C-alpha cells in the first residue's frame, strides 16, 4: 500500500525510517542524517515557502522515502561486496579440525584485531580520563554560568569521538558502523538542546562505552602481550638449542635450562616448541573472536537503534 506524500520533514523522516525498518542501525542512521541535512538545507534556502511546498518541489530530485531507502539498500550491497575480504584460497567443503584451527593465519581480520587489542589499552585510558574529567568538571561548574555550555561541549566532543571510534572499529573488525552522526534536528533553544541531550539514551551509552574501554583495553593488552611473549619464547626454544649445537657453544642451553630433567633434552625442546605454536595459534583465534564481539558491543552502545 503506497503511503501519502510527506507534508513535513518529520513526516518524511518517519516514512524513511519505517521503510528501512529491519536494516542495519548504522545504515538507518546514515540515511536519516543525509535526508534531514538535505531537506533542512532546501527549506532554509526557500524561506518564502512551506515545508510541504519545498518537499513537493524536490520530490523529483531527491526522491520519495521508499526510493531513497531502495537506493541506500543497493549502495550498501555494493559497498559490502567491495569491502569484503577475498578468500586467499578456496576452502574445502568439510575442513578438518586442524585445518580450521591453523587456518586462522590466512584471515586478515585476525591481524587487525590483534593490533586493536594492543592499541585498546592506550585508547581506553584516554577515553576513561576524558569522561571522568569531563563529568567532574561539568558537575563542578554546574552552578556557574559556564557549567551548562561546558557540558554541551563535552557531550558534543564525546559524539565526535564516538564517530571516530566507530570508523576505527569498522576498519578493524568489519562491523558496519555509521558514517554520519545523528542529525541535531531543527534549531532549538539552549535549554531545549540541553534537555534533548540528557534524554537521548545514546549520550549515556556512549559515555558507558568510553568508561568500559579502560578495563577492556587492559584485558585485551594483557592477553595479547602475555600469550604472544610466551608463545614466541616457547616456539624459539628448539631453534636456539639448534643454534648452540651448530655453533658449538652452550650459551642458550645454559640460560634456558628448564630445571625439569625430562624437558632438558631434544624431545622436551620439541614439545615446548609445539606448545608455543599452539599457544600463538590460540591467541590468533582469541583475537578474531574478541574483534567480532567487540564490534557488536561498540555497535550496541554507539549506534542508536533505528536512529
Span 277-297, average pLDDT: 94
* End-of-domain residue from the set 76, 97, 119: 76
Answer whether 236's CB lies under 8 Å from 244's CB.
Answer: no
User: In the numeric block, which cell numbers belong to residue 45?
Assistant: 534556502
| Residue 151 domain flag | no
Identify the band that residue 97 occupies on the pLDDT scale cut at 50, 70 and 90.
confident
More confident residue, 86 or 37: 37
Identify the band that residue 306 occupies on the pLDDT scale cut at 50, 70 and 90.
very low
* End-of-domain residue from the set 76, 95, 126: 76
**Domain carrying residue 40:** 1-76
| Residue 54 domain flag | yes
Identify the band that residue 85 occupies on the pLDDT scale cut at 50, 70 and 90.
low
Query: For 9-45, how does the pLDDT look when each residue is reduced to its tens digit (9 = 90+)?
Result: 888 889 888 998 888 888 888 899 898 888 888 888 8
Span 142-152, average pLDDT: 82
| Residue 125 domain flag | no
Query: For 173-200, how does the pLDDT look when each residue is reduced to its tens digit (9 = 90+)?
Result: 888 888 887 777 777 676 677 777 778 8
Res. 307: pLDDT tops 80: no
Alpha helices in 141-260 (DSSP H): 147-173, 190-199, 201-247, 251-255
| Residue 256 domain flag | yes
* End-of-domain residue from the set 26, 46, 76: 76
Query: For 103-116, how does the pLDDT look when each residue is reduced to its tens digit (9 = 90+)?
Result: 888 888 999 999 99
| Residue 41 domain flag | yes
pTM: 0.80
| Residue 177 domain flag | no
* Total domains, the chain: 2
| Residue 36 domain flag | yes
| Residue 168 domain flag | no
Amino acid at each position: 500500500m503506497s503511503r501519502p506524500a510527506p507534508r513535513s520533514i518529520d513526516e518524511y523522516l518517519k516514512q524513511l525510517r519505517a521503510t528501512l525498518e529491519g536494516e542495519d542501525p548504522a545504515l538507518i542512521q546514515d540515511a536519516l542524517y543525509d535526508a534531514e541535512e538535505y531537506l533542512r538545507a532546501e527549506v532554509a534556502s526557500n524561506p518564502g515557502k512551506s515545508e510541504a511546498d519545498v518537499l513537493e518541489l524536490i520530490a523529483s530530485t531527491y526522491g520519495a522515502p521508499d526510493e531513497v531507502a531502495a537506493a541506500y539498500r543497493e549502495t550498501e550491497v555494493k559497498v559490502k561486496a567491495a569491502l569484503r575480504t577475498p578468500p586467499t584460497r578456496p576452502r574445502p567443503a568439510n575442513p578438518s579440525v586442524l585445518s580450521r584451527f591453523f587456518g586462522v593465519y590466512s584471515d586478515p581480520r585476525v591481524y587487525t584485531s590483534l593490533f586493536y587489542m594492543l592499541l585498546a589499552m592506550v585508547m581506553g585510558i584516554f577515553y576513561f580520563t576524558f569522561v571522568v574529567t569531563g563529568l567532574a568538571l561539568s558537575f563542578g561548574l554546574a552552578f556557574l554560568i559556564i557549567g551548562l555550555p561546558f557540558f554541551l561541549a563535552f557531550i558534543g566532543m564525546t559524539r565526535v569521538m564516538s564517530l571516530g571510534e566507530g570508523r576505527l572499529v569498522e576498519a578493524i573488525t568489519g562491523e558496519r558502523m555509521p558514517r554520519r552522526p545523528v542529525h541535531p534536528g531543527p534549531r532549538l533553544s539552549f535549554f531545549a538542546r540541553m534537555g534533548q541531550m540528557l534524554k537521548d539514551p545514546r549520550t549515556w551509552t556512549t559515555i558507558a562505552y568510553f568508561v568500559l574501554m579502560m578495563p577492556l583495553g587492559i584485558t585485551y593488552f594483557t592477553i595479547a602481550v602475555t600469550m604472544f611473549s610466551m608463545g614466541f619464547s616457547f616456539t624459539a626454544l628448539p631453534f636456539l638449542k639448534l643454534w648452540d649445537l651448530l655453533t658449538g657453544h652452550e650459551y642458550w642451553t645454559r640460560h634456558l635450562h628448564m630445571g625439569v630433567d625430562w624437558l632438558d633434552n631434544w624431545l622436551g625442546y620439541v614439545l615446548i616448541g609445539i606448545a608455543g605454536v599452539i599457544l600463538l595459534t590460540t591467541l590468533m583465534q582469541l583475537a578474531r573472536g574478541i574483534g567480532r564481539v567487540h564490534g557488536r558491543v561498540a555497535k550496541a552502545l554507539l549506534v542508536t537503534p533505528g536512529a
